[in-house]
């Protein structure tokens, strides 16, 4: 049975969607938006609540392939990313998070088997993760220890891990791929893409508008690229894993096939644009 959606006084940043611990007063500012990777809105710092958001938007659930469903809000809110529900025989994982959680979404997800664990790529998508956890029997939330400082609503349901790899049930693995954030993590799903493997990447690599390509940035809205050395290290990490598909952060931004080759070609293009080469 689904848990109750809480009507807390937890304020949401309108620009990034981060939810803060319940309080009677709005926070002075959003540290995640004040960080150089993000930005304060052009109209200044603004706040809303989950209750207000439910009156303005609804969620759309799309089956991407067998056992994988994307979830995004319409109209989009804040950054506009999508979350994913990944089903395995051992339980379901919510990958990344969106701000809007309502009774209709909970019911739809319960019909798909609920949520046994949550994992989120990086702080820009932490948003209402505590609400999602509470709604699904206090599902544990797996975040990398290196990004602990960016959690604006601490909670006992958050489980921090350290190192380069963390195994979940269903043969899933979280991989720490520093760059956009020190604790950035991606989810490797070996059974995805009809058994050829899939990578749920959040923002790193970011699937481009031309979905045959990906790219790498330290700050996307402020156009600050990752260093060449970081991109080379990322490529070394990805060499150890098999995947033929990459699901990016935004609706329809998916490298459908030959994703590992696309990743390498994209890294070569990125590095070549600086006048260097991948193997230098």
Cα dihedral value 8, 9, 10, 13, nearest 10: 130
The pLDDT of residue 153 is 96
Do the domain assignments include residue 6?
no
Would you say residue 142 lies in a domain? yes
- pLDDT tens track, the chain, 280 positions: 344 444 458 999 999 999 999 988 889 999 999 999 999 988 999 999 999 999 999 999 999 999 999 999 999 999 999 999 999 999 999 999 999 999 999 999 999 999 999 999 999 999 999 999 999 999 999 999 999 999 999 999 999 999 999 999 999 999 999 999 999 999 999 999 999 999 999 999 999 999 999 999 999 999 999 999 999 999 999 999 999 999 999 999 999 999 999 999 999 999 999 876 667 6
Q: Which of 36, 49, 201 is nearest to 122 (CA)?
A: 201
pLDDT of residue 58: 98
Residues sharing a CB contact under 8 Å with residue 235, sequence separation 6 or more, in sequence order: 263, 264, 267, 278
Residue 152 lies in a domain: yes
Q: How many domains does the chain have?
A: 1
Distance CA 276, CA 272 (A): 5
Strand, coil or helix: 143: strand
Q: Is residue 278 part of a domain?
A: no
Any idea what the CATH number is for the domain that residue 122 is in? 3.60.15.10
72 within domain boundaries: yes
Domain that holds residue 239: 11-272
- Alpha carbon distances (Å) from 233 to 167, 221, 226, 229: 21, 23, 11, 6
Longest dimension (CA), the chain: 57
User: Alpha helix (H) ranges present in the chain?
Assistant: 31-34, 50-54, 103-111, 129-135, 192-195, 228-238, 259-272
**Domain membership flag for residue 17:** yes
Inside any domain, residue 277: no
């Amino acid at each position: 049975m689904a848990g109750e959606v809480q009507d807390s006084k937890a304020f949401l940043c309108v620009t990034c969607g981060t939810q803060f611990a319940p309080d009677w007063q709005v926070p002075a500012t959003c540290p995640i938006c004040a960080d150089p990777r993000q930005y304060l809105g052009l109209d200044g710092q603004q706040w809303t609540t989950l209750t207000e958001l439910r009156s303005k938007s609804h969620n759309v659930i799309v089956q991407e392939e067998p056992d994988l469903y994307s979830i995004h809000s319409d109209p989009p809110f804040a950054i506009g990313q999508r979350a994913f529900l990944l089903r395995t025989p051992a339980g379901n994982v919510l990958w990344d998070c969106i701000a809007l959680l309502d009774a209709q979404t909970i019911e739809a997800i319960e019909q798909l088997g609920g949520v046994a664990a949550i994992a989120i790529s990086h702080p820009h998508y932490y948003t209402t993760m505590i609400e999602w956890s509470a709604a699904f029997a206090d599902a544990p939330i797996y975040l990398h220890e290196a990004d602990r400082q960016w959690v604006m609503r601490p909670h006992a349901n958050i489980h921090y891990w350290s190192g380069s790899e963390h195994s979940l049930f269903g043969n899933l693995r979280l991989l720490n791929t520093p760059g956009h954030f020190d604790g950035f993590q991606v989810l490797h799903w070996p059974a995805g893409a009809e058994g050829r493997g899939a990578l749920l990447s959040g923002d790193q690599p970011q699937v481009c508008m031309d979905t045959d390509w990906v790219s790498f940035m330290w700050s996307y809205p402020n156009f600050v690229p990752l260093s060449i050395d970081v991109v080379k290290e990322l490529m070394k990490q990805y060499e150890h894993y098999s995947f033929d598909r990459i699901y990016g952060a935004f609706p329809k931004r998916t490298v459908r096939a030959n994703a590992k080759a696309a990743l390498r070609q994209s890294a070569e293009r990125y590095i070549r644009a600086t006048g260097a080469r991948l193997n230098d």
